[in-house]
Structure 1
Amino acid sequence: MHAVTADDHSFAADGPVAVLANPTAGRGRHRGLLPRVLDRLAEGGRPVRVLDARTPVQAQAACHEAVADGAAALVTVGGDGTVHLALQAVAGTSVPFGAVPAGTGNDFAIDTGFPGDPLTAVDAMVAALRDGRSRPVDLARITAADGTHRWYGAVLAAGFDAIVNERANRMRWPRGPRRYDLAILVELARLRPRRYTLRLDGEIHETDAVLVAVGNCPSYGGGMRICPDADPTDGLLDVVVGGRFDRRTLMRVKPRIYRGTHVAHPLVRSYRARTVEVEAAGITTYADGERAVDLPVTITAVPGAVRLLR
């Protein structure tokens, strides 16, 4: 895989625009959106092909295949989970990428400058396609303990939020958002700081913490600005660490994350680095809201790793 430079503008000559759509994204509230998206994308003057995929594994494979077959661009219609699957295929290539924000969480799309309205975002992509224009942004590359790699665009959670996600995914009841609420209550009752070893560009920090987030972009979880100063064009990762919070303090500070003002709390530390190693016992990380890998991990900022249709 090559790092993409700012002047790498090669679009596949006659390839189609490949579209990965998640009809269940955003709890189905955009179910009727896809035909209108496809109609507008066709105005870009290239054939449009919807990828056939019914599971995340199939979706990721279909994206890789589309890129290998010479797609002119890859576009997702969904949320951060759909974006995450597509990034695995376009990262490190010159195939441009567009994210139509149609999910519960659209953090990567919004934080990298796509319009929040889905059809307005499509119009921006069509204009970029017509002009042969794309712009580079950074991605983060995870290396797991077994040497496998995975890309993400927004934020990797390696603390309380990851633990809650893992709990919610194991629960079979209740259905829907209430399962996540219940998981928060269960894990709050068990809340305890954990011992982390962080290596930031080789500098070691030993710390007891309940929150650890590594951001390429500022937001996760549908607009929570956990790494408020993260910039996906600066070649760096932002690391936000919430220290020895007790239950009451954590719940008081958590609403401030939506505004990004939690970083002013005396128990919160912020860092910036090109390479971030995170080690702690018994934690599975979540990247772009998707289950990723168990700690320890190494995360590397890769400048200009994806080109956006903007």
Structure 2
Amino acid sequence: MTRAALLVCPASGKGRAARMAGTVAARLRTAVDSLDLHVASSAEGTSALARRAVEDGVDVLVVLGGDGGAHLGVQACAGTSTALAVVPAGTGNDLATALGTLSVDDVVGALCDGSRRALDLGRVGNGTWFATVLCAGFDSAVNERANGMRWPAGPRRYDLAILAELAALRPEPLVVETEDSTLELDALLVAVGNTTSYGGGIPVCPDADPADGLFDVTVVTAAPRRTLLRMLPTLRTGRHVEHPAVRTLRAKSVRVAGPGWVGYADGERVHGLPLEVSCRSGALTAVGR
């Protein structure tokens, strides 16, 4: 018998999640034995409902929302026997993409097949978990700008935020420490990837594998603005890692430090630097292919 809970984040996708909720619930009921529906009006309420569902022992927590809602679901499910499923209804939907669940039909198919994946998670020193990418520098500034934009919807919002932030771009001293090495350099951004992508499908860490027990780390060093403009088109293909201004590392644990930078994880603000993160193998059971 499969017990599931559907957690609806009604504000996701400018109300798209709320509009989809009835249809999604009906589809999910064809694949599970029981389904409880939970709707919260705030991030705090969503977090509390997610934790309550997991404490009640549901087999699967299904989040209907964007990466923000999925991030809250990760906090509740990490290190437990409850599997996380994500039905995408937000702006970026990077975790759903990584799980291969691009629609409710994908989730239903995986539930019917019993498809489960053990995923690594990142653990920040303050106790926050993340499933996709932790970033700081230029990319976290892009996140802050994109989160404050009302238009446009979808990944295009991140593209416009990138162009806007380029005007204020300047390198800052950055220290990246791993278990094997230390980088001290002037940099524009650092991304610690458990999965490949952030910002609605930008493969900032194109070779990251969420089941190998390691992070992929991408650092963009100081470079002229015109060089970065030429590099931008390669971000969507992952070819930016071939550029001389880009350094890549693989590590089990990472400490990043830089003045004035703020860390974002799964698109959510975490804390100012310095930050210490570690890769926890198999910390999350996920529904996906």
Q: TM-score, normalised by structure 1?
A: 0.85
Measured against aligned partners, the alpha-carbon deviations of 1:205-252 in whole angstroms (never above 9, x if no partner) come to 111110210100001011101000000010000000111122222122
C-alpha displacement of 1:200: 1.1
Q: Where does residue 119 of structure 1 map in the other structure?
A: 104
2:49 alignment partner, SS class: helix
Residue 116 (structure 2) aligned to one of 130, 134, 138: 134
Q: CA deviation at 1:309?
A: 1.9
Q: Is contact 1:156-1:287 (8 Å) kept?
A: yes
Q: Distance in 2 between matches of 1:55 and 1:44?
A: 28
Match of 2:184 among 195, 198, 206: 206
The 2-side partners of 1:50 and 1:110 are apart by 23
- Three-state SS of the structure 2 residue aligned to 1:35 is helix
Name stretches of at least 5 consecutive residues in structure 1 with no aligned partner: 1-12
- Matched ranges for 1:261-276 at <5 A: 261-276=239-254
Does the aligned pair in 1 maintain the 2:17–2:64 contact within 8 Å? Answer: no
| Change over 3 Å in CA distance of 1:245–1:98 after alignment to 2 | same
- Alignment counterpart, residue 95 of structure 1, candidates 82, 87, 101: 82
Match of 1:215 among 193, 203, 223: 193
2:29 is the counterpart of 1:48: no
2:151 — aligned with what? 176
Aligned to 1:4: none
Instruction: Report the RMSD for the aligned CA atoms in angstroms.
Output: 2.2
1:296 Cα shift?
Answer: 0.6
For 2:73, the aligned partner's letter is A
AA matched with 1:289: G
CA distance change for structure 1 residues 221 and 37 in 2, over 3 Å: closer, same or farther? same
**1:175-212 deviation line (CA, Å, top 9, x unaligned):** 43498777645532321111111111152111111021
Secondary structure of 1:67's counterpart equals helix
The residue number in structure 1 matching 2:265 is 287
Match of 1:188 in 2: 166
The count of aligned residue pairs is: 285
| Structure 2: gaps (5+ residues) | none
Q: Which amino acid in structure 2 is aligned with residue 213 of structure 1? A: A
Is 1:81 aligned to 2:63, yes or no? no
Verify the 8 A CA contact 1:37 1:122 in the aligned structure 2. no
Which of 82, 88, 109 is the equivalent residue of 2:96?
109
In 1, distance between residues paired with 2:145 and 2:202?
Answer: 20
Which deviates the most, 35-44 or 176-185? Answer: 176-185
Contact 2:107–2:287 (CA<8 Å) still a contact in 1?
no
Q: Output aligned runs, 1:240-255, within 5 Å.
A: 240-255=218-233
Amino acid at match of 1:305: A
- Which stretch has the larger CA shift, 235-244 or 204-213? 204-213
Answer yes or no: is the 8 Å Cα contact 1:157–1:285 preserved in 2: yes
Please state how far the C-alpha of 1:293 moved relative to its aligned partner: 1.2
Q: Determine helix, strand or coil for the equivalent of 2:128.
A: strand
> 2:81 is paired with a residue of what secondary structure?
coil
Alignment map for 1:146-185 (pairs within 5 Å): 148-167=126-145, 175-177=150-152, 184=162
CA distance in 2, matches of 1:45, 1:219: 30
Deviations 1:106-158 (A, max 9, x none): 111212333x2x13223224314xx4x52211111111xxxx21011111111
Mapped to 2, the partners of 1:180 and 1:240 lie a distance apart of 19
Which range moves more in the overlay, 285-294 or 220-229?
285-294
Contact 2:10–2:16 (CA under 8 A) maintained in structure 1: no
Corresponding residue of 1:303: 281
1:27: how far off?
Answer: 3.2
User: Are 2:31 and 2:112, in contact at CA under 8 Å, matched by a contact in 1?
Assistant: yes
Greater shift in the superposed pair: 35-44 or 184-193? 184-193
